[in-house]
Amino acid sequence: MRKPFVGGNWKMNLDAAASRTLADDLARAVATDRLDQACDIAIFPPFVYIRHVHNVLRDRSSSIMLGAQDIWPDPSGAFTGEVSAPMLKDCGVSVVLTGHSERRHVIGESDELINRKTRAALDAGLQVILCIGEKLEERAGGQTDQVNERQLRAGLAGVIPDQLSRLTIAYEPVWAIGTGKNATPADAQDAHTKCRSVLASLFGADAAGRIRIQYGGSVKGSNAAELMTQPDIDGGLIGGASLKAEEFLSIVRAAAAAPSKGR
């Protein structure tokens, strides 16, 4: 069975105090309602607050995973401003995002760099959420499936079967991120099915059936249930709605309540 997985990507928001408060609110609610029994949960604070959030999660013995929004592929060296896998592990990080649309389209990361980051994180024993998704003009031009396939094949080149249990895919149509427009549940399900077929062609049907595919793009408490009940949607990657504890928790609850998926 694929356990749902919900991640909160805080992006470049909050300060130290607000990061601690949000992490604490989440840790308390997850423990009280035992939400982690039916859903894996991760939060991705800005790099500078990772240590603050780590301390809160440690003090609460929380099962919430600590995530990083980015990673550099080399372990150390002259890469000003960058942060490596050993550094992240040293700070208690267990999962990283690669290929987020803001890094692809605002920062200008290539498929090749995203692949290096993905492999470096997996080689270091970290979990990875590889984000993919088409831009509005690509969708309008009927390119959705080709873009997703290209980003999956390029992003996962060289990934070996032993690493797949630590891999999650996030399908996040770029036009839906932070815009308030989300894909319809049927459109998202269709894209997820096609992504799973690409994964099957890369790694075999059994392995593909075990890989979790999150949906991301303007998910909130009010639309989470209809997305999370789709048969190939295994949780969500949440931006704006992850900054408010109650809103994020309502998405986690929707994912946890969805019917079991996979074999």
- Contact track, ligand PEP, 168-207, x by CB under 6 A: ----x----xx-----------------------------
Q: How far is the CB of 97 from ligand PEP (least distance, A)?
A: 8
Residues 6+ apart with CB under 8 A from 151: 99, 111, 114, 132, 133
Q: Tell me which of 100, 102, 134, 192 is the catalytic residue.
A: 100
Closest to ligand PEP by CB, 67 vs 216, is 216
Told to check if 219 binds ligand PEP by CB under 6 A, we report yes
Q: Check 102, 134, 172, 247 and give the catalytic one.
A: 172
DSSP bridge partners of 42:
7, 65
The one-letter code for the residue type at 184 is T
Find the residue with minimal CB distance to ligand PEP.
239
- Rounded distance between C-alpha atoms, residue 152 and residue 242, angstroms: 25
Known catalytic membership, residue 112 = no
**Cβ of residue 42: shortest distance to ligand PEP, in angstroms?**
12
Q: For ligand PEP, which is the closer residue by CB, 50 or 238?
A: 238
Encoded tokens for 224: 């989470």
Mark whether 105 is an active-site residue: no
- Is the separation of the CB atoms in 81 and 50 below 8 Å? no
| 147, amino acid identity | V
What is the closest distance, in whole angstroms, from the C-beta atom of residue 85 to ligand PEP in the complex? 21
- The residues near 232 (Cβ < 8 Å, ≥ 6 apart) are 189, 192, 193, 196, 213, 261
Distance between CA 55 and CA 176 in Å, rounded?
A: 33
Could you tell me how many residues of this chain bind ligand PEP (CB under 6 A)?
A: 13
Cβ distance to ligand PEP smaller for residue 41 or 238: 238
User: Which stretch, 40-48, 110-118, 158-166, 216-224, contacts ligand PEP (CB under 6 A)?
Assistant: 216-224
Site string for ligand PEP, 236-255 (x = CB under 6 A): -xxxxx--------------
Q: With contact defined as beta carbons under 8 Å apart, do 25 and 245 qualify? A: yes
Site string for ligand PEP, 3-42 (x = CB under 6 A): ------x---------------------------------
Pick between residue 147 and residue 203 the one whose CB is nearest to ligand PEP: 147
In terms of C-beta density within 10 A (0-12 exposed, 13-18 middle, 19 or more buried), how is residue 7 classed?
A: buried
The Cα 64–Cα 67 span in angstroms is 9
Q: Please check whether residue 47 is in contact with residue 19, taking contact to mean a CB–CB distance below 8 angstroms.
A: no
Binding site for ligand PEP (CB under 6 A): 9, 172, 177-178, 216-219, 237-241
Catalytic positions, please? 100, 172
